[in-house]
Amino acid sequence: MTALLRGLLFWALLPLTAPQGLWLRRRATRLPGAEGAREGAVGTGPELHLLAIGDSIIDGVGTACREASLPVQFAAALAAGSHRRVHWRVAGASGYDISDVLEHLGQLRHAAPVDLVLLSVGVNDVTGLSSARHWRNSLHTLLDEIRERWPDSGILFAGLPPMASFPLPPQPLRFALGLRAATLDRIAREVVSGVPRATHVPTAINPRQHEFCEDGFHPSANSCTLWARELAALQTRSMST
């Protein structure tokens, strides 16, 4: 399906999907972010400093404890695969869209070293109906600011998930969210490809392996384990070349 057709279908379905979205916001289960410290270290060897910034995936919604969240599991898998001591820092919150992430980035202290940035954002721009232009321009700005602050850091952008596979939204809302997520992810892939040392990592959902937490919207701790291992394997290969 072309990008133009995806866009036309998404907006054409809006009169049907908007009431569903409002109903879902009122009725959906809301889970807190993961409990625990927002900084730590794991592993032994040369030091690597990881900053994880973004939305509820970074905040560990659905995983209960920080150690089970994607950023910390990624840090642990990266430490094991690269024989590094990974210092991790979590800077994200549930509900953050790209404007929120930009604002939060501006509040982070400059002194802390960063060798690698794990970035997750976009799902709330889908549900919040951010325009494609706003998304593209804001993502350019966000990546430029990361590069300006930490010019030698790597950037891993966790691609938007296929939201048509989320069990929570009813149809046709689920279909429409999938269309919009694919559109924003295509833009993200294009933008990230133009940034030095930045990698867009597609996010896939295999129903035989990946599972959702009880809210039907966020990955479970077990799914975060699989995701973290995939990201760590990719980053380890990149570091060894």
Beta-carbon contacts of residue 118 (< 8 Å; ≥ 6 apart):
50, 51, 52, 53, 54, 58, 70, 71, 74, 156, 158, 231
Integer angstrom CA distances of residue 52 from 127, 226, 227: 22, 17, 14
pLDDT of the residue at 93: 95
pLDDT of the residue at 112: 80
Q: What is the DSSP string of 109-171?
A: -SSS--SEEEEE--HHHHHTT--HHHHHHHHHHHHHHHHHH-TT-EEEEEPPP-GGG-SSSPT
Domains of the chain by range and CATH?
Answer: 3-13+36-236 (3.40.50.1110)
pLDDT of the residue at 134: 97
pLDDT tens per residue, range 140-176: 999 999 999 999 999 999 999 999 999 999 999 999 9
Strand duo 154-158 + 39-42: pairing: unpaired
pLDDT of the residue at 116: 98
In the sheet with 85-92, reading across from the earlier edge strand, the strands are 39-42, 85-92, 47-54, 116-120, 154-158, 198-201
pLDDT of the residue at 52: 98
pLDDT of the residue at 241: 66
pLDDT of the residue at 81: 94
pLDDT of the residue at 34: 94
Instruction: Using 70 as the pLDDT threshold, list the residues of the chain that sit under it.
Output: 110-111, 241
